[in-house]
Homo-oligomer: A and B are copies of this chain.
């Protein structure tokens, strides 16, 4: 594709204005550094996957990451093997017992959630970590496996500079209220609906 000189100049002028707006917007933000509470929720794909992508970025900038999985645990996840490449810069704890319809045991689910939350709190207090991923914590909160008020207060009171990502469908309004950044993943189209099973390297 090619363009005329006139088109090129018009484009340049438009982009010059856009850059001025952009620069002014950045300059107008007073808070330069802040540990963020990020929530990835909604019925679509990518909630945990984006959290792990963020962990990868944090590792790429030299940071250290902690992960607690509240639901997964019964099976082995590809991302866990991926993070092994970063050695001790990633602390990974799969504390779940699998989906509730797999365990079929409420008491066991409650005990697993409590153990996972204890592990999460230890990580939140660990000054060596830059990012803590609480994968599927929303599921544990939705099924009332943990005390919502305590969880929200603990996350809101996290130490300065610590980034936390919480994933899972049906995030509680109280958690959304406390969060700095909330993304709702919407399922516009899903291959499961077209009769395709979960794919290795994509879903697990």
Q: Which residues of A contact B (CB under 8 A)?
A: 1-3, 7-8, 11-12, 15-16, 18-19, 22, 26, 28-34, 36, 38, 40-42, 44-61, 63, 77-86, 99-107, 110, 114, 130-131, 144-147, 163, 176, 179-192, 194-197, 199-202, 204
* CB–CB A181/B190 < 8 A: yes
Tell me whether A106 and B185 are in contact (CB under 8 A).
no
Partner of A15, one of B18, B30, B103, B192: B103
Copies in the complex: 2
The answer to whether residues A57 and B15 also contact, given A1-B145, A186-B42, A191-B181 and a CB cut-off of 8 A, is: no
Given the known A-B contacts A186-B184, A196-B31, are A52 and B57 also in contact in the complex, defined by CB atoms under 8 Å? yes
List, sorted by A's number, 13 A–B pairs whose CB atoms are closer than 8 Å: A11-B106, A26-B197, A30-B195, A32-B197, A33-B199, A52-B53, A56-B78, A58-B78, A59-B82, A59-B85, A60-B81, A179-B189, A180-B189
CB pair B201–A189 under 8 Å, yes or no, is no
In the bound complex, CA of A188 to CA of B78 (Å): 29
Question: Are B56 and A82 in contact, with the CB atoms below 8 A?
Answer: yes
Residues of B within 8 A of A55 (CB): 53
Which residues on B sit within 8 Å (CB–CB) of A101? 15-16, 18-19, 22
- Are A50 and B57 interface neighbours, CB within 8 A? no
Residues on the B chain within 8 Å of A86, using CB: 82, 85
Is there an interface contact between B189 and A176, defined as CB atoms closer than 8 Å? Answer: yes
Minimum CB distance partner of A81 in chain B: B60
Please tell me if the beta carbons of A186 and B186 are within 8 angstroms of each other in the complex: yes
Closest CB-CB distance, A57 to chain B, in whole Å? 4
Would B15 and A183 count as touching, CB distance under 8 A? no
Given A12-B105, A106-B3, A131-B201: A54 touches B60 (CB 8 Å cut-off): no
Contact, CB under 8 Å: A46 / B56? no
Minimum distance in angstroms from A14 CB to a CB of chain B: 8
**A184 in contact with B180 (CB, 8 Å):** no
